[in-house]
Amino acid sequence: MSFRIVRNSKFRHVFGQPLKREQCYDNIRITKNSWDSNFCVVNPKFVAIVIEAAGGGAFLVLPLSKTGRIDVSHPMVSGHKGPVLDIAWCPFNDNVIASASEDACVRVWQIPEGGLTRPLTEPLIELNGHQRRVGFVQWHPSANNVLLSAGADCKIIMWNVGTGDILSQIDHPDLVFHCSWSYDGSRLLTTCKDKKIRIYDPKTGALEQEADGHEGAKPQRAIYLRNNLIFTIGFSKMSERQYSLRSEASLSEPIILETLDTSNGVLFPFYDQDVNLVYLCAKGDSNIRYFEITDEAPFVHYINTYQSTEPQRGIGFMPKRGCDILNCEIARFFKLHSKGLVEVISFTVPRKSDQFQEDIYPDTAGDVPALSAEQWISGEDREPILVSLREGYQPSKKAELKVTQKKKPNVLDKTVVKKQTPSAASKEATPSPPPGSPSLNSALNSRVEELVSELQKMKAIILKHEVRIRDLEKKVDQQQKGLLDNTQISNAENNNNGETLADEV
C-alpha cells in the first residue's frame, strides 16, 4: 500500500533570490505616502516608482537596464498638483502609463523610447471626471485604450483614452477599496468600505451580485481568477488577516476561509493567471507568501515564503513576458525599501535542462489588444490574445498613442449664446454683408478713428512724462553742483585752521 505525504506540484521547489545590489536601483526618494498602493509598476521595458518631490506629485521612470545608483537630478514625470496615488502601465503599449492623484485627475503619459532625457510635464491626455482624489487606476485586460479609475467620490469611471470620453460610470454605495477585471473584461469585481463584495457589468453599470466580504473594518481586496473564481483578502473581527476563495455562482458562501496571521498591513495579491499562482505581500512586511490554486481540496495550497530582514514600502510585479525564460524565472518582484533601494527578487523553478520548459510557460497574454474600445462598449467581449514564449518575448511594433479629442466650445468666448426665437432665427439667417459694402466700410472707418484717437492720447501722456523727466534731471544737476561747492568750502576752512594769518601778527 502506497500513499503520498507531500502534494505533487511542479512549483513545490520555487524559491526567491534577491539580485546583487549593483543589479538593483539605489538612491531613490521613495514616497512616504500612507495610501494603500504598490507605488511601483513594471513592464519589460521600464520600472516606474512614485517618489517624494516638491511642487506636487511626481514619479520616476527608469529603463530596466539603468541599474545602480540613480542620480538625484534624473528627469521625472511631474504634472500633478497633488501626490500621485497610483500608476499603471498599459498592457498593449509599454511606453504608455496612467497616473492617478489627489488632485482628482487622471493623466496618461507617453514615455519616449530609451527613457526620459528631460522632465516630462505634458501628458498625452488629462481625464477629468472625479470630484475628489483618485486612488486607483487599471487598464482593461483585452480592450485597447479602456482605462478604469476609482475615486473617493465613490465613482468608478471607464474611459476611452483615445478620445477622452467616458464610456460608462458606476456610482458605488461607499468608498471603493479595490477593483478587478474578469479574465475577458466582461465583469468588474469591487470591494468597499461597507464590507461588501460586488460584481458589476462595467458597460452598463448594473449591479449583478452582492455579498458580505470579510468582517474586519480594514480595507479588503479581491481579484478575479480563471474559471470564474474569486480570491479575497481581508481581516476578521479580531483584526486577523484572512484569505478566502469563492465561486462567482455563490459569492456569499466561501469555498474556503483561512486565517494567516495577526499583522496589521493590508495584503496585496499578485496573480499569475498562466499557472494559477497567487503571491501575497503587504506594506511593512518583510516576506512574500505564494500559493497555488488547484481543483483539489483545499484548493489554495501554500507553497513557501520568501523572507528578508527589510520591510517593504511597496512592490512591483513583472508580467510573464518580461521574465527570464532561459533561467526558468516564473516571477520577478521589485521591492521598495524605506532607505531608497529598489531590490529585484527573482522567483525560479529549479530545472537542470536548458531547453524551453513548456509545462511552466504556457501561452501568456501578449501586447496586442483583442478588440477596440468602441467594440467593447458596443457589447463585445473577448479573451486576451495569447502568445508563446518558446522563442522569447518579441514585442510587436507599436505606434505612439494618438489622442483625438472632440473640439469643445471655448468657455472664455465673450459671445453669449441666447435661446433662439423665430425673429432671432430670421435675423441670424440673414447673410453677413459682403466685403466692400457701405455698412462694412463705415464700421471699419469708425474703428480706425477710435484707434487713432487712442494713439494720440497715449502720445500726449508720453510727452508730459518726458517734460517731467527733463525737469527732474535739471533739479538733480543743481543739487549735485550745490553739494560740490559746499564740500570745497569746508575743505578750504579745514586747511586754514593750522596757519597764522598776516593780520594777526
- Say what the pLDDT of residue 488 is: 64
- Say what the pLDDT of residue 19 is: 95
Residues whose CB falls within 8 Å of the CB of residue 181, separated by 6 or more in sequence, listed in order: 138, 140, 141, 148, 187, 188, 189, 202, 224
Question: Mean pLDDT in the chain?
Answer: 86
Between CA 87 and CA 108 the distance in angstroms is 10
pLDDT value at 267 more than 60: yes
- Say what the pLDDT of residue 466 is: 77
pLDDT value at 259 more than 90: yes
- Say what the pLDDT of residue 428 is: 42
Residues whose CB falls within 8 Å of the CB of residue 427, separated by 6 or more in sequence, listed in order: none
- Can you tell me whether residue 482 is helix, strand or coil? helix
pLDDT value at 8 more than 90: no
Q: What is the pLDDT of residues 13-55, one digit of tens each?
A: 999 999 999 999 999 999 988 898 999 999 999 999 999 987 6
Mean pLDDT on 90-105: 95
- Say what the pLDDT of residue 441 is: 67
- Say what the pLDDT of residue 502 is: 42
Mean pLDDT on 139-155: 96
Question: E-strand spans in 162-218?
Answer: 165-171, 176-181, 188-192, 196-200, 207-212
Q: What is the pLDDT of residues 99-132, one digit of tens each?
A: 999 999 999 999 999 999 999 999 999 999 999 9
- Say what the pLDDT of residue 426 is: 41
Percent of the chain with pLDDT over 70: 86
Between CA 493 and CA 253 the distance in angstroms is 112
- Say what the pLDDT of residue 447 is: 77
- Say what the pLDDT of residue 5 is: 54
Q: Which residue has the higher pLDDT, 309 or 456?
A: 309
Q: What is the pLDDT of residues 407-435, one digit of tens each?
A: 544 433 433 444 444 444 444 444 455 55
Q: What is the pLDDT of residues 381-407, one digit of tens each?
A: 999 999 999 888 877 766 667 677 655
